[in-house]
Chains A and B, each alone.
Chain A
Amino acid sequence: MLKKRIIACLVVKNGIVVQSIGFNKYLPVGRPEIQVEYFTNWGVDEILIIDIDATQKGIEPNYSMIEKISKVCYVPLTVGGGITDILHIQKLIQHGADKVSLNQVVLHNSNFIHDSARTFGNQCIVASVDVLETPKKEYFVYDYLNKTHTGRNIIECAKEAESSGAGELLVNSVNRDGMKTGLDLKLIDQISVSVNIPIIFGGGVGNPLHIQQGLHKKNVAAVFIANYLHFNEHSISKIKSYLSHQKENIRKNSFISYREFSFNNNGIINRKTDTELHDMRFNIFPRERI
C-alpha cells in the first residue's frame, strides 16, 4: 500500500538553512548538508530544498550546494529556487536532484511546466503554490517576490499546473508559515477535490498532531515540515513513532525508535516517570576517601 510521506523542507538563504516566519523573518539554523544527513538517518521520506535567495537575486540554482547535499541524501531530493530555464533543471538533476519544484514560473509561464514535463517526465516536476488568505477569508495565489497576492484563484492555478504537466502539487499556506498553529485544513479540502495529482501540503506544523490531521485528509499524499524539525533532536523519528503509535499508514524504517515512550494529546513525548528515570540512571560510586 502506498505510504503517506513526511517531507523535510529546508529553506536555504545565503547557503544556510533558516527558519522562515511569515515569509519575512528568518532565523539561521545551520549548513544544509548536515541537516540533510541527520534527517535521512532519522527516517525522513523525502527532502525538499528551497533556495529563497536565488530567484530574488536572479541567479542560477546553487549546483555545488546540491551536489554536496546529494552525497548524504539517500532519499528523494526535490530542489526549488532560481529555476528559469530547462537547462537549469538538467544541471540540477545531473548534480543529484531527483525532482524540481517550480514556483515563480508557475505564476508567469505555464508553458515552462509543459516544456519541462515533456523533457523530464511529469514525475520530475513539482508545481509549488503559496496561498494567502485575505481578511475576507478568500484564498489567493501569493507572489513571494513582490510580497503581494496576485488576485489569482487558487483552484484555477492548481488545475492549470496539473493540465500543463506537473506531477505533484505543493501547497504552502503563507498565513500559517512559522505560526505553529496547525495546517489550514479548510484549504486542503478546497484544493484537494480540484486536482488529481498527489498533493503535498504544509505551513504551520507545530506538533505531531498537526501532521496527523493533514495525513488524515484522503487526498493529501504528503505533509512537509520545516521549522518544527529544527532545534529538536530526533525530530523525524519522534514524529514517526507517534504516527505509527496511532497506526497511521507511514513508512517505518529508521534506526531510531521511540516505541517504548508514551505521547500526550498533541503527539509530544511524555516525560518518563521518576522511578523509570531512576532506573535508567548510571550508578556512580564515589571514590573512597581514607
Chain B
Amino acid sequence: METKGRRILILNYGMGNLQSLANAMDYLRVKHFISNEPNAIKDADAIIMPGVGAFGKAMENLNRLYLVEHLNKAAIIQKKPILGICLGLQLMADHSTELGSYSGLGWISGKVEQLDKNKVDRIPHVGWNNVRCNKHHPLFTNIPEHPEFYFDHAYHLICKSELISGTTLYGDNIAAVIQKENIIACQFHPEKSHANGLRFLRNVLNFMEQY
C-alpha cells in the first residue's frame, strides 16, 4: 500500500504517549518518524499529534519549540492531512478552560470545557465507551456497529455538529470523532483501543494516503 512510502510525522511536543502510538504504527507496518523539529513538519506528508496531558502545558511546549507557526501553515495553507488524538484534538480548538484559560491552535472553531459535573457521576471519563457513528463513513470501514473505544479525558470539545462524525454518550453526547477537510481528530485513543482502534487507525492512514 502507498501509505508505507509516505512520511508520517508523530509530533513530539513533550506530552504524547509516543511509544504507544509508534507501536501501533509498527503493528500496521507504516513508516513513521518522531520529531520535535519545526523542519520535520515541513518534510512530513502527514502529521499525527498524540496527546496525554494538560492543555496549558501543551500549548506552552508548542510555543517554546516554535512549532505553532509551522503547524498552522501545514494545516491551513498546505492542507496536509493531520490526525489529532485526545489532547491533540482539543489543541485544535480556539480556546480551553482546563486549569485556567488558554487559546489553542484555532483550526476548529469551538471551545474545550470540562464535562458537565451535574450530568455525570464521575470525572474524568475513563474507560471503554460505544461510539455512535455512521457505519458507512470511510473512517469506520470494517469496524462493527457501535464500536467500543478507550476514552480518558476530563474535558471535551464543543463545536458545530456538522464537524462531528462520531459521538459517545457520557452525560451528554460528546464529540468523539471530528473531521474538517484535511483534519481528523478523535477524543478516544485508537492506539489503545485494541482491534477496533487499530482498524480505525488503518482507515485514517488510508485517508491520509488518498487526501
Q: What residues of chain A have their CB less than 8 Å away from a CB belonging to chain B? A: 1-5, 40, 43, 45, 67, 70-71, 73-77, 90, 93-99, 117-124, 167-168, 196-198, 219, 221-222, 251, 253
Contact = CB atoms under 8 A, between A and B. Distances in A.
B196 A253 contact: yes
For the complex of A and B, list the 8 residue pairs with the smallest distance between their C-beta atoms, beginning with the closest: A96-B19, A3-B128, A251-B128, A123-B152, A121-B54, A123-B124, A76-B192, A121-B53
Given A5-B128, A71-B26, A167-B124, 9 more contacts: A43-B194, A73-B23, A74-B23, A76-B152, A93-B18, A221-B122, A221-B126, A222-B127, A253-B194
A254 B198 CA distance: 14
Nearest to A165: B99
12 contacts: A1-B129, A2-B128, A2-B170, A3-B128, A71-B26, A74-B23, A74-B191, A75-B192, A123-B152, A167-B152, A196-B123, A221-B127
A93 B191 CA distance: 14
Contact of B154 (A71, A119, A122, A221): A122
A222 B99 CA distance: 27
A251 B148 contact: yes
Given A97-B17, A98-B52, A124-B53, A1 B169 contact: yes
A75 B148 CA distance: 12
Contacts of A67: 19
Contacts, number: 122
B197 interface: yes
Contacts of B128: 2-3, 5, 45, 251
Contacts of A120: 15, 52-54
A221 B129 CA distance: 12
B83 to A, nearest CB: 17
Given A74-B24, A121-B154, A98 B189 contact: yes
A161 to B, nearest CB: 14
A20 B187 CA distance: 36
B122 A196 contact: yes
Interface size class of B (residues with CB under 8 A): 35 or more
A287 B31 CA distance: 55
B195 A75 contact: no
Contacts of B130: 1
B185 to A, nearest CB: 17
Nearest to B51: A121
Interface string B87-99: 1000000000011
Contacts of A97: 17
B54 to A, nearest CB: 5
A212 to B, nearest CB: 17
A3 B195 contact: no
B124 A122 contact: yes
B54 A118 contact: yes
A45 B153 contact: no
A200 to B, nearest CB: 9
B196 A198 contact: no
A1 B131 CA distance: 9
A124 B192 CA distance: 14
B19 A3 contact: no
A174 B124 CA distance: 27
B135 interface: no
Nearest to A197: B122
Nearest to A96: B19
A123 B126 contact: yes
A141 B26 CA distance: 42
Contacts of A70: 19-20, 23
Given A196-B122, A197-B122, A2 B127 contact: yes
Nearest to B19: A96
A118 B99 contact: yes
Contacts of A93: 16-19, 52
A221 B15 CA distance: 26
Nearest to A199: B122
Nearest to B26: A71
Contacts of B154: 121-123, 167
Nearest to B130: A1
A168 B126 contact: yes
Contacts of B170: 2
Contacts of A96: 17, 19-20, 23
B13 interface: no
B43 interface: no
Contacts of A117: 54
Contact of B192 (A74, A90, A118): A74
B126 A98 contact: no
